[in-house]
Amino acid sequence: MEEAISRILTELEEIRHFFDNPTDPNSQSLSEPTLLDLQTLLHHTINSNDSEPLDRLYEDLSSKSLSPNHLIRPIASTMDLGPTHLSLLASNVYLSLLLSPNSPVFTLFTPVSFLSLLRSIRRSLKPWQPQVVPSETAEGSHHVAANKKRKGSGGRGRGSRKNAKSLNVDEGESEESEFDVGKVFSVLEKLELVMGLIHLDRFPDSLKSLVQTVVEIPVMAVEMCGNSVSYNRITDLCSRVLSEVLRPEHGEQADTAAEVLKSLSQLILRPKSPARMFGLAFVTNQMMGVAKSSDGVKKAVVNLPRYLVQKVPEKSEPRALAVESIMEIVKVMEFNDQIGFVEYVLKMTQGKASLRLLGVDLILMLMMYLKDPLGVELDGEVDGEWGLKCMEALIHRCSDISGGIRARALSNLAQLVGFLTGDDRSRAVLKQVMGFGNVAGEQRVEGDMNGLLRKRCMDEKAAVRKAAFLLITKLTALLGGAFDGVVLKTIGMACSDPLVSIRKAAISALSEAFRKFSDESVTTEWLHSVPRLISDNESSIQEECENLFLELVLDRISGAASSLQNGSVFSNSSLKAKSLEREIEFLFPEGVLGLMRGICNGEVTPWVKKICASLGKKKRLKHKIAVALRNIIKTSESLWLRQSMLIEKWTAPPGAWFLLSEVSAYLSKAVDWEFLQHHWQLFDKYGVRGEVKIPLTQGDAHLEEEGVESNSVAWAGDRVFLLQTISNVSMELPPEPAADLAHNLLRRVEEFNMHSTEVNAHVKALRTLCKQKASNPEEADTLVMKWVDQLLTKASHILEKYILEVSAANKDGSFFTPPSRKGKKAARLLSQAVTAVYTIGSLVIVCPSADVNAITPLLHTIITSGNSDPKLNKLPGTTVSLKQAAPSFYIQAWLTMGKICLADGKLAKNYIPLFVQELEKSDCAALRNNLVVMMADFCVRYTALVDCYIAKITKCLCDPCELVRRQTFILLSRLLQRDYVKWRGVLFLRFLLSLVDESEKIRQLADYLFGSILKVKAPLLAYNSFVEAIFILNDCHAHNGHNDSQGSRVESRLFSIRGNDENLRSKRMHIYVSLLKQMAPEHLLATFAKLCAEILAAASDGMLDIEDITGQSVLQDAFQILACKEIRIPSNRGSSSDSADIDDEVGDSGGASAAAARGRVITQAVRKGLIQNTIPIFIELKRLLESKNSPLIGSLMECLRIILKDYKNEIDDILVADKQLQKELIYDMQKYDSTKAKSTVAEAVAKMQKSSSNQSPAVSKVASIKHAQNKLTNKSKNYSKLASAMADVAAAATARSVLREVNKGASTPPLGSLSVPKLKSCNGASTSQCDRPLNVLKSLSKRHFFDSDEEN
């Protein structure tokens, strides 16, 4: 020890000489050997509890005139400047000195040395980054090397002072010391012990630095510690040090706790990391433990969540983590403190946007994690519970002005409903709170909740709509099936939303309601909304549609029929026919028969067919569905027979045969022949006898009673589906029954007395049976051709016979006689002829190669009957108009001719013009509908032939019949999607009227076409045709390229919404807004520029006649479009809630953010250039309108005012450069607003006068009447003066506020300071009380055009 003490003293004496001349900081540091000697000395002293060697060191220091300060300063210098391992060694030595027995703690501890200790700890945990050092001279190289981090000490042997004191070494000799976490452990352990010896209440800065350093250690140690064991130990040491800091010896505990929590808040709000967990654990464990005995610490901890609220970041993920952290702290607080924080959160929901958004998130967490939010465990009233206030605040935020907050509130409310409905008691209270209870007086609240759902389901923000559907999904269990009809309808409409996420949310909400409740309204809405999505563009939605149909329809039907397999059908002879239906419904689970009835709806069946086909191709249809449908039919029949009722009046449950016909195509082995044969014989035996054999005939006065008719129609439909089922399973039929069935089918067709749907089914079944019976395809074609020719010949004879009968009857004038034997014969002949002509078309479809040369002239005669040209009618004698005599026969003839033309291209080339001509002149809606369908088929088969007639086909978009309009829209849309028709010419512009069609269904289809399909397929279509659409819709012919021919004038009038009526303007505006919503931001800017250049500039240049009514409409529409919010570019100055909403929708990525930033810069530059070119156009146009005293000045000023607000940053540069323009805008806007306000108040005064006159009592005396009139007149004058003054003040305030925004806060000078021309008297004096010259008065009269415009 003596040698060690001697070496220490020697080096300290050498260092003392450098204190007075500190040219080199390294010269003041201790060398590593000296530090090791000190460590050995201190280690021996502490472990052996022998203080003699250390006392001798202090005595020797004193003998050499060295104070303890001469020892501490070199150690502090080493901690500051030495390499990492040497710095930690010096720190260890310094702390050991403080912990040594009989240590002069107050002498050795100084704030400077303590800060050096803390810096040493920080440096040791920083990751080392190697630096590339350029070659330098030998003298200066050590200065560069001294800056390298964590460098080991060179020259460890004894030598000269220069080598010993240099803490850096040559690059060739140095060895980088690896990070040793054990040294850090040692330092932190000793630091904890030292905290028990020193009191930092006298050194507040040292205390603050200590807290900050210890809090930073867990963050820096994440990268340095290689395993969790080391990290856990280092965080445990930090926790112990911070616990020591909280002792009262180090100062006021409240202040110390506040400092600790302030530093820990940075860790708590960090993204997911171990350091965040350390911060939370220390607060919830150690500090909460201290808080039990210290009111100051408790107060600090209670205020921590409020402090964290103010520091929460705006991004969605960090915000969510912050909410979790806050809740971890709140959960360990006492109940009263928790309630205090709840009240604070409720106040947050009334604050600014960022706090409202955070409050909405906190309410959800508070309700989910705090005990008994709704007070269900209490016996008292629950009205005063904090949970109810939170629910009210959350529901109120669902109508927040910010879309992001609305969406978050709805989504959190949905989560909360799902969480609380798990408990029966909570469900009852929740139902009452949300207004869905059966308590008296709650109907108003329920209406408010349903009203809220309706509004949010139709919200302009996609995220809000999505959240609303999620809420409805969660409310399903709570509502118990009591759905509002409007809400259901809205969800159904949302299934066709342009956004995929909204469609998925709507499907989920509607399906959840359908899954839990079998209410008829829910079933109907689901069937009309979800199955149609099998044709959606998104494959995931198609798959979801298939899965839902399989689960909610097919599996439900299968499960319902499984209970019938045991034949659990009971008989009760006392049952009547009426109650039999109820018994049948009783046998099946609730809603199953209604579901099957809904499938039969004409709007649902096409999608059901497509879904079944898709499931069948994927082999997802199970045998049990076919077995279940078979059991349902058999059970229904068995129950009917057990009641001893006539079998000919029995019908299977609606939808059973239809669904079996669809699934049997893929489950042929699941349907046995005995079952099919039995029902075919039943239908064949009783169906012919009881059916209505004249499906579409005139004079049905002798039909049987209504029950028989509906029964016969049901039997006819079931026969069709049965035949389709037989065709599907024909491969499994035995040979002999198949031959008998084919013979029977042919016989039935030859009678020509079936309904058209039955004809198709019989013909298709015949063809299928022939193909299955033949041994090869050639033989099958021969068999088919044989019976097709046979049927065509018989059908031809029937047509000839009917035409001759009509001609003969027309000569006698007895065709439309009252019902008699002769009239019945004519009716039967007509029915047979209608079926025959339809059969011809079906045969041509089945066998396109069939010979129809003998039939074509007959059909030509029918469709041209009544024509004045004798060459078009081959029949001799008087021509007969079959269109008037037999409309159904005439329509079927056109339909059959169309089918023949589809099979014969040469014939189609000759007859397509005739089809178009009939489409234009026909007054029969059914015929026009069929012709549109045929033209669509022709367009697919003969695209080039039909292309020139597309414009004429589009006229049907304005057809008076809704069915024809809808059919035309659907067919043309399909052709456009498949590129058989191109979006060119007037086609797109004519489609626009469908957006405002009278039919709601057509409007929905149009919204889906423009919002979903065209937005993806033709994104530039709306932009390219926007300006032209304004002229077309207003029927204005001043647009370039507009054809002014008489024919086009008539067509343009047909496809315009011309007029200044408010209803017509709103329709046009709806179309414009729909187009603007499809445009990208750059296209919105370009559209803004095109409107200014092609309409506003054209009007100011005289190219657009603004005195013409259509020109005024175009200009007014342009003003409204420029002022609407849809044409504005979304600003990047949105609130935090809106940005959070965007984060939730699209996520956040570095590349996307950079691209968005570049896009914003470009957009701002374009906006600035655009508005600089726009304002002069507005000014010039304003002067022109003023000169013409045009009523459009009001629209222009409204538009200009909105532009001034929306583009205030861009306009600011213009107004700064042109002060005169600024003054003119202020003056004009103030005058316009004043006039408008006066007009509004004048109307109010007029109403007040009228009300006063109506309320005044009747007075008999004349004097009393005059007195009352004079009083009312004076009162009205006073009202008028007050109104005028108020209007002037309001107008001035409005103008100043707008221009103040433009000038970024600079107030607008008063009107009196503007350079307004002063009026001079006759003598030249500037006074306002003398008589003015006549020319001055005339000039002033021109300034009243604002008043006159408003009055007009």
Task: Please indicate whether residue 1265 or residue 284 has the higher confidence score (pLDDT).
Answer: 284
pTM of the model: 0.69
Structure tokens at 452: 């809220």
Residue 996: predicted pLDDT: 92
pLDDT-derived band of residue 585, with 50, 70 and 90 as boundaries? low
Residue 569: predicted pLDDT: 45
Checking 632-635 for CB contacts under 8 A at 24+ apart, the result is 632/557, 632/560, 632/561, 632/564, 632/588, 632/656, 633/657, 633/660, 633/679, 634/675, 635/561, 635/564, 635/567, 635/569, 635/587
Residues 252-277: pLDDT tens digits? 888 989 999 999 988 888 887 888 88
* Most confident range, picked from 114-128, 256-270, 631-645, 1225-1239: 256-270
pLDDT at 932 over 90: yes
Q: Which residue, among 931, 925, 929, has the nearest Cα to 913 in the 3D structure? A: 931
Structure tokens at 531: 């199955």
Residue 1303: predicted pLDDT: 47
pLDDT-derived band of residue 584, with 50, 70 and 90 as boundaries? low
pLDDT-derived band of residue 1301, with 50, 70 and 90 as boundaries? very low
Interatomic CA distance for residues 1312 and 45, integer angstroms: 92
% the chain with pLDDT above 90 = 17
Residue 372: predicted pLDDT: 80
pLDDT at 914 over 90: yes
pLDDT-derived band of residue 70, with 50, 70 and 90 as boundaries? confident
> In a 3-state reduction of DSSP, which class is residue 1063?
helix
Residue 251: predicted pLDDT: 85
Residue 478: predicted pLDDT: 75
Q: Which residue, among 212, 21, 29, 23, has the nearest Cα to 121 in the 3D structure? A: 212
Contacts of 32 (CB under 8 A, 6+ apart): 86, 89, 153, 156
Residues 1065-1116: pLDDT tens digits? 999 999 999 999 888 888 888 898 889 888 988 888 888 888 888 888 999 9
pLDDT at 543 over 90: yes
Query: Of 200-204, 593-597, 885-889, 1260-1264, which range is least confident?
Result: 1260-1264
Residues 813-833: pLDDT tens digits? 554 444 455 667 778 888 889
> In a 3-state reduction of DSSP, which class is residue 181?
helix
Alpha carbons within 13 angstroms on the beta-carbon side of residue 1097 total 11
Interatomic CA distance for residues 420 and 443, integer angstroms: 22
Find the mean pLDDT for residues 1045-1072. 78
Interatomic CA distance for residues 270 and 31, integer angstroms: 40
Burial 888-918 (b: 16+ CB within 10 A, else e): bbbbbbbbbbbbbbbbbeeebeebbeebbeb
Burial 98-118 (b: 16+ CB within 10 A, else e): bbbeebeeeebbbeebbbbbb
CB 1302 within 8 A of CB 1226: no
Instruction: Report CA 1079 to chain centroid distance, whole Å.
Output: 17
Neighbours of 83 (CB within 10 A): 26
Q: What is the CA radius of gyration of the chain?
A: 46
pLDDT at 1147 over 90: no
Residue 459: predicted pLDDT: 86
Across the chain, mean pLDDT equals: 76
* Most confident range, picked from 144-153, 858-867, 1325-1334: 858-867
Query: Of 166-175, 679-688, 1003-1012, 1087-1096, which range is least confident?
Result: 166-175
CB 295 within 8 A of CB 246: no
Structure tokens at 1317: 């021309």
pLDDT-derived band of residue 1291, with 50, 70 and 90 as boundaries? low
pLDDT-derived band of residue 705, with 50, 70 and 90 as boundaries? very low
Find the mean pLDDT for residues 609-629. 91
Task: Please indicate whether residue 350 or residue 10 has the higher confidence score (pLDDT).
Answer: 350
Alpha helices in 729-820 (DSSP H): 735-750, 756-773, 777-812
pLDDT at 26 over 70: no
pLDDT at 812 over 80: no
Find the mean pLDDT for residues 856-884. 67
pLDDT-derived band of residue 21, with 50, 70 and 90 as boundaries? low
> In a 3-state reduction of DSSP, which class is residue 867?
coil
* Concatenated DSSP letters of 1221-1248: HHHHHHHHHHHHHHHHHHHHHHHHHHHH
Q: What angle do CA 494, 500, 1000 make, to 5 degrees?
A: 30
Query: Of 58-72, 1224-1238, 1286-1300, which range is least confident?
Result: 1286-1300
Helix 555-562 with 623-642: angle, nearest 10 deg: 50
Residue 653: predicted pLDDT: 86
Identify the residue whose tokens are 């002509």.
837
Distances in whole angstroms, Cα of residue 773 to Cα of each of 153, 785, 848, 1027: 101, 14, 21, 64
pLDDT at 131 over 50: no
